[in-house]
Amino acid sequence: MTEIRNIAIIAHVDHGKTTLVDRILHQVNLFRENQEVQDLILDNNELERERGITILSKNVSVRYKDTKINIIDTPGHSDFGGEVERVLNMADGVLLIVDAFEGPMPQTRFVLQKAIDLGLKPIVVINKVDKPNCTPEIAQEKVFDLMFSLEATEDQLDFPTVFGSSKAGWMGPDWKEPTSDISYLLDEIIEHIPAARHKEGTLQMRITSLDYSSYTGRIAVGKVTRGQLVPGSQVSLVKRDGKVVKTVAKEIYLFEGLGKEKTKEPVPSGEICAVLGLEGFDIGDTIADGEEPEGLTPIKVDEPTMSMYFVANNSPFFGRDGKFVTSRQLRDRLYKETEKNLALRVEDTASADSFLVYGRGILHLSILVETMRREGFELQVGQPKVLTKEIDGKKHEPIEALTVHVPDVFSGKVIELVTQRKGDIANIEIKEDRAHLDFLIPARGLIGLRNQMLTATEGEAIMAHRFYGYEPWKGDLGVRRNGALISLETGTAIAYSIDKMQDRGKFFVEPGEDVYAGQVIGENTRQDDLTLNIVKTKKLTNMRAAGSDDKTAIAPAIKFSLEEAMEYIRNDEYIEITPKYMRLRKILLNEHDRKRQAKSVTQE
């Protein structure tokens, strides 16, 4: 019987997890000599490739020296903590990848904490040792200090370290002496990661992730923790609330290389597999013996920290380029997402066409919006809000631990920006000419901070944050945005009008773009909102006037990314998102309605 090693790869965003998996796949000759292979094989979702981040965890397996190694690639962003936590339950050890220049980062701490709590044995890979000015030994020291502060056991602290560069394709015991390939790393995995243990007894398998096939429907993925799973056998599903449902495990697939292979043999405990044919299961349920079912403890998932309204599109331009525009389609899609996206929650509201969606952060929610937009949905989203809690009768809010790396000359500006938003300084370290600043800041203070930070530091700041805990409400943040420039009429934006209004503020629309009454077309130079008519054309006469036909020079329109727009809008605004366009608008499109509402608010 082949020995099995189940290993999860964890690291901060951009420290080279997915590239390393590519190298492992090449090392074991998974591809034919003449086969064309693209890079970042595991980031197969279009959004993952564009952004260069991993969003969904993936399973692949390689065979090396008569051992099967199941590799689980995990996301590095703390917004996808729900995903990481679940898949670590399938692993027996972790590969912690750390950038030799940056050392361990806040997100590394977040994922490592989960792995240490589960008692997993780490192997530390100091990656990118070919970067100029990097300090692999210091990075290794920092990992040790980090593990010590996370209360790792003696065995976990006695971790093996591998140095190398996944991009250059080598790993070895010494960073000064490059080797020819990464076989040293694979040998270390076989030597130090415990083999998956075979546990006798009745069947137990926790469903830790889902796959979907349009042909067979939902597929349950997990590790058999006890007994064995026989294809075609009668099994019981033990739900989170203890309810037991009888069902059949019709087909079972094992992960081989990048794909799945159907098996007729019983799957032993310790092996990761995919089960087809089950009905009505959720992540965290246990597949147990048909006769004597025993459930495993359900997975506890991090609480959401942010909420946002998703509303069916009701702008004057609705239905122009989307396939799915009704509130029923929007509702079905959101509830379908909660089946596989554990950290997401959806609630119906008093209005039939708006839904309250809870998520782990702006990135978590924006990835959902972006995915839906690409599927052909039209929708509107409101301003993201942080979730508060009542503790001992007092209002508490989520606090994030924020880390900023900047050149030392900008550290004053960064401290000023964060303290304006009620952030407290936790630690300051200056190494050569770079400052490493740690803060504790209210989660709502992070909304809109990234743009200001990048502007103030000339694009040099590297920001990362993770959830720290709940603390008493800090009061008003005092962050003010200038007022909006709002379109008065529906029509096409005219260059002549925009040119004449340039002193009023910055515009978000180009000449020739269609706009509607109530759309936010720019930012005012002052604090209050201003309604403008930019669809007005020039009155033509047959008289020539000196100087009136000068060339117009219009400043380029400001274009937001989805996350920037979510951080920018106020609570009386929506972002309208369609497959082709993204527009900012006022919730009340009619100017009289807005004035009436403003009046009633001031009277109260």
Contacts of 289 (CB under 8 A, 6+ apart): 202, 203, 204, 227, 235, 236
Contacts of 320 (CB under 8 A, 6+ apart): 578
CA dist., res. 383 & res. 446, Å (int): 14
The kind and range of the H/E element at 94 are strand 93-99
Fold of 3-192: Rossmann fold (3.40.50)
- Look at residue 182 in the predicted model and tell me its pLDDT: 77
User: Within a 10 A sphere around the Cβ of 194, how many other Cβ atoms?
Assistant: 11
CA dist., res. 252 & res. 208, Å (int): 16
Q: Is 15 annotated as a binding residue?
A: yes
CA dist., res. 511 & res. 524, Å (int): 18
Q: Is 571 annotated as a binding residue?
A: no
Q: Is 129 annotated as a binding residue?
A: yes
Instruction: Please determine whether the domains at 204-289 and 389-472 fall in the same fold group of CATH.
Output: no
Which of 275, 299, 305 is closest to 287 using CA atoms? 275
Whole-structure pTM value: 0.68
Residue ranges of domains in the chain: 3-192, 204-289, 389-472, 484-539+551-603
Percent of the chain with pLDDT over 90: 0
CA dist., res. 62 & res. 258, Å (int): 9
Domain 484-539+551-603, CATH 3.40.190.170 — does that match? no
User: Within a 10 A sphere around the Cβ of 477, how many other Cβ atoms?
Assistant: 15
Contacts of 178 (CB under 8 A, 6+ apart): 164, 165, 168, 170, 172
- Look at residue 437 in the predicted model and tell me its pLDDT: 86
Three-state SS at 269 = coil
- Look at residue 387 in the predicted model and tell me its pLDDT: 83
Q: Is 14 annotated as a binding residue?
A: yes
Fold of 204-289: Elongation Factor Tu (Ef-tu); domain 3 (2.40.30)
Three-state SS at 359 = strand
Q: Is 572 annotated as a binding residue?
A: no
- Look at residue 17 in the predicted model and tell me its pLDDT: 63
| CATH annotation of 389-472 | 3.30.70.240
Q: Is 599 annotated as a binding residue?
A: no
**Token pair of 589, please?**
């499109």
Q: Is 503 annotated as a binding residue?
A: no
Q: Is 130 annotated as a binding residue?
A: yes
- Look at residue 13 in the predicted model and tell me its pLDDT: 58
User: Within a 10 A sphere around the Cβ of 442, how many other Cβ atoms?
Assistant: 21
Q: Which stretches does DSSP call E strand in 227-291? A: 228-229, 234-238, 244-248, 251-256, 259-263, 267-268, 272-276, 286-289
| Residues of the chain scoring pLDDT < 50 | 30-57
